[in-house]
Structure 1
Amino acid sequence: MNQLPKLKDFQVPAGYFDQLPERIIAKEKTRKFPSLIKYAAAAIVVLGLGVSWQSGMFTPESPALSIDEEAQLYIESQVWSSEDVLSLADDPNAILDQIIEEEMPSSDEQLWIEDELNWF
């Protein structure tokens, strides 16, 4: 410890605390201008985002659907009922025949054999 240099006691400069409030107020007045720049920059960013949002830059483009896909979406979302779809068709009987054929495919072989009718 003896090898460490001795430090002098700290002395406050004369009149330091008398001038301190004026110096703080002077620094605060100079800081007002840069804070306005921050608000102006934030306003420009918000304004730019608002304009680009209104112009449609952020809306994803939906893929083009065929008429059949679009009709299927209307049916699945229950906007259209089956009666609505049939009323829009030129030939509703053809649509019904197609649905029946898809649900119950016709085959040449019989569904049961005559011998199987008498199984008891």
Structure 2
Amino acid sequence: MNQLPKLKDFQAPEGYFERLPDQILTREKGRKFSFPVPYAAAAAVLIGLGLAWQLGWFSPEPQLLSLDEEAQLYIDSQVWTAEDVLTLSDDPNALLDQIIAEEMPVSDDVWLENELTWF
């Protein structure tokens, strides 16, 4: 501690505190009111986006789907079950035959080959 230099006590210049209030008042009188432009710009952008959203400018165009595509969406999202689809059909047996034919088209050939060669 003895090696540290000794510091003198801080003293304010003479008359500093007497002149300080007058200096502050003259500096403040010289300032002009400046509107915060960045805040106004941000507010204008937010108001514009809010109005555009309310007017529906950002909503996507609805897609028109065919009846088959709409039914497929209901089935894929598991809103409709297989029983629901069959009850909506005029002829459920024809619908089942069509589904079987689409999903297993080679099954007819396999059965014919197996029937002829099994004995």
- Aligning the two structures, in what range does the TM-score lie when normalised by the shorter sequence? 0.5 to 0.7
What are the ranges of 5 or more consecutive residues in structure 2 without an aligned counterpart? Answer: 1-18
Q: When the two structures are superposed, what TM-score results if normalisation uses the length of structure 1?
A: 0.64
Q: When the two structures are superposed, what TM-score results if normalisation uses the length of structure 2?
A: 0.65
**Number of equivalences:** 99
Q: What's the Cα RMSD here?
A: 2.8
Partners of 1:79 and 1:27 lie apart in 2 by: 72
Q: Deviations over 1:32-80 (max 9, x none)?
A: x412x55444333222211110111112224221111111011101111
Q: 5 Å matches for 1:20-35? A: 20-28=23-31, 30-31=32-33, 33-35=34-36
What are the ranges of 5 or more consecutive residues in structure 1 without an aligned counterpart? Answer: 1-16
Distance 1:113 1:92, change over 3 A: closer
Is structure 2 residue 114 aligned with structure 1 residue 112?
Answer: yes
Distance 1:111 1:49, change over 3 A: same
What one-letter code is carried by the residue in structure 1 that aligns with 2:72?
Q
Partners of 1:21 and 1:83 lie apart in 2 by: 85
Q: Which range moves more in the overlay, 64-73 or 37-46?
A: 37-46
Q: Residue 55 of structure 1 corresponds to which residue in structure 2?
A: 55
Q: Residue 96 of structure 2 corresponds to which residue in structure 1?
A: 96
Distance 1:117 1:59, change over 3 A: same
Is structure 2 residue 71 aligned with structure 1 residue 71?
Answer: yes
Distance 1:89 1:109, change over 3 A: closer
